[in-house]
Amino acid sequence: MNILFLLHSYPKVGGIEMVTQTIAKYLKEKHNLYYLARISYPSVIDDRSNCFYFPSKDKKKSIEYYNRLLAEFNINVVINQGPFLPFNRILSNPDRNEHVRIFSFLHFMPGFEFERIKYVWMAEKKPFKRLFKRIKTKLGLNTLQYNPDKTRKQYRELYNFSEKMIVLTSEYCKIISEAYHFTETNKLVVIPNPSKYTCKESAILNRKEKVVLFVGRLEIESKRVDRLLRVWKSIENKKDWNLNIVGDGPNREELEQLVKDESIENISFLGQQENMEPFYKEASIVALSSTYEGLPLCFIEGIQFGSVPLSFNVSSGIRDILEDISPDILIEPFDMNQYAERLKKLMDDDTYRNGIARKALVKSAEYKLENIGLQWDELLK
């Protein structure tokens, strides 16, 4: 089978792009894989022989290029990764080969746009513009606030021309219907994201260090790394524990300055890392403090190595991973004191922490590539 992955950017060290590379490792044994994107990050991988890029943002030229690529490589299936809604017009163009099957993956919490719009002002660095955007949001003047039906209509269009629409958890089947006003949900399929890592060390818990790990984009709109920094500051006796922050993003400088200004100790900003395995191996705890999450890849990867996940209870994606491990690692949104108390207990009590870590290792089997790959096989049959 000839499969084309359609993405906004590829390759790239980002959640959707990394998931694509992981599942591609499984699929390439049976299928011919191709990639089409708007933006290229050539430093991530050396071999781009099967990677193609739209030559223009012009709608007509993009459609022509897409149709030509499908014909040239005799594409049977398009995997619409994201999804990036501006691609709707390309995917549903009237001249397309209607025998090409389209599977659209939602790699996020359905309806996140309506939650995100409340916090977009936080991403603005200039004080005056930030205040203006905050007031605009407060008054409900953002397009998504006063005209949400436009976005809902785009998702319904996406659903209609897709053979299947894939969500990350079973609860998202209900949420997507409510968020985008679907009239039926027969095309919805649940497939979680796989982990690219598998720990083969039976005694992995014996090599854990006093490390709390954050992995993700350094921004304060959704990830809210500033919350984690303030929780970390509130813990007085850290007993040689360190907080390692892996990732990059628009607010890295601001976050580093916050650490300096408030003299927060035992924190290391380690930048973007392509190979996360050594960081997960040493981390006893993987912590998030996000406002919203889909199905966090850092938790899926971290539990492969027995790292204990800790997060605010902000989505069914979070609950799907954490509830089976321990209710203690789900924090009431956004109770900073409770977060600090739970984190401190994990840091101080080795027996307690290792008991949860063993349950995390059991849970990790659900997200191994070979298990998720079987679900992809079933989808593509």
Q: Is 199 within a domain?
A: no
Mean pLDDT score of the chain, rounded to an integer?
94
Which pLDDT does position 46 carry in this prediction? 55
Pick from 190, 221, 254: which residue ends a domain? 190
Q: CA distances (Å), 54 to each of 35, 58, 64, 68, in order?
A: 11, 9, 10, 11
206-224 mean pLDDT: 94
Percent of the chain with pLDDT over 70: 98
Q: What is the DSSP code string of 54-105?
A: -S-S-HHHHHHHHHHHHHHTT--EEEEEE--GGGHHHHT-TTS-TTSEEEEE
My answer on whether 161 and 272 are in the same domain is: no
- Closest listed residue to residue 39, CA positions, set 68, 14, 73, 70: 14
Distance CA 292, CA 269 (A): 23
My answer on whether 16 and 91 are in the same domain is: yes
My answer on whether 169 and 226 are in the same domain is: no
356-363 mean pLDDT: 97
Pick from 190, 221, 253: which residue ends a domain? 190
**369, 196 in Cβ contact below 8 A?**
yes
**368, 198 in Cβ contact below 8 A?**
yes
Tokens of 232: 């970390």
- pLDDT surpasses 90 at 47: no
Question: Among 4-13, 208-217, 332-341, 372-381, which stretch is predicted with the lowest mean pLDDT?
Answer: 4-13
279-285 mean pLDDT: 98
Q: pLDDT confidence of 192, banded at 50, 70, 90? A: very high
Q: pLDDT confidence of 199, banded at 50, 70, 90? A: very high
My answer on whether 99 and 135 are in the same domain is: no
Which pLDDT does position 115 carry in this prediction? 85
What pTM was estimated for this model as a whole? 0.92
Q: Is 43 within a domain?
A: yes
- Dihedral sign from CA coordinates of 308, 222, 167, 79: negative
Q: pLDDT confidence of 141, banded at 50, 70, 90? A: confident
My answer on whether 289 and 306 are in the same domain is: yes
My answer on whether 73 and 182 are in the same domain is: yes
> For residue 203, what is the DSSP state?
T
My answer on whether 169 and 255 are in the same domain is: no
My answer on whether 154 and 179 are in the same domain is: yes
My answer on whether 95 and 44 are in the same domain is: yes
Strands of the sheet with 285-287, listed across from one edge = 267-271, 242-246, 211-215, 285-287, 308-312, 330-331
Strands of the sheet with 32-39, listed across from one edge = 51-53, 32-39, 2-9, 77-82, 101-106, 164-167, 188-190
Q: Is 122 within a domain?
A: yes
Range of the domain at 83: 2-107+149-190
Q: pLDDT confidence of 42, banded at 50, 70, 90? A: low
In 10 A of CB 266, how many CB atoms? 16
Residue 132: partners with Cβ closer than 8 Å, 6 or more residues away: none
- The amino acid sitting at 327 is P
My answer on whether 57 and 180 are in the same domain is: yes
CATH number of domain containing 350: 3.40.50.2000
My answer on whether 91 and 9 are in the same domain is: yes
Which pLDDT does position 20 carry in this prediction? 95
Q: pLDDT confidence of 61, banded at 50, 70, 90? A: very high
- pLDDT surpasses 60 at 268: yes
- pLDDT surpasses 60 at 163: yes
**Total domains in the fold of the chain:** 3
Q: What is the DSSP code string of 112-124?
A: HHHHHTTTGGGG-
My answer on whether 247 and 153 are in the same domain is: no
Tokens of 206: 């014996």
Q: Is 184 within a domain?
A: yes
Residues recorded for the chain = 381
Distance CA 285, CA 67 (A): 47
Which pLDDT does position 72 carry in this prediction? 97
Tokens of 219: 């921004």
CB crowding 155-180: b at 16 or more within 10 Å, else e = beebbeebebbbbbbebbbebbbebb
Q: Is 85 within a domain?
A: yes
Q: pLDDT confidence of 44, banded at 50, 70, 90? A: low
Instruction: Summarize pLDDT for 90-126 with one digit per residue, the tens.
Output: 999 999 999 999 999 999 999 988 888 888 888 787 8
Q: Is 40 within a domain?
A: yes
Q: Is 268 within a domain?
A: yes
Q: Is 381 within a domain?
A: no
Instruction: Summarize pLDDT for 21-37 with one digit per residue, the tens.
Output: 999 999 999 999 999 99
- pLDDT surpasses 90 at 185: yes
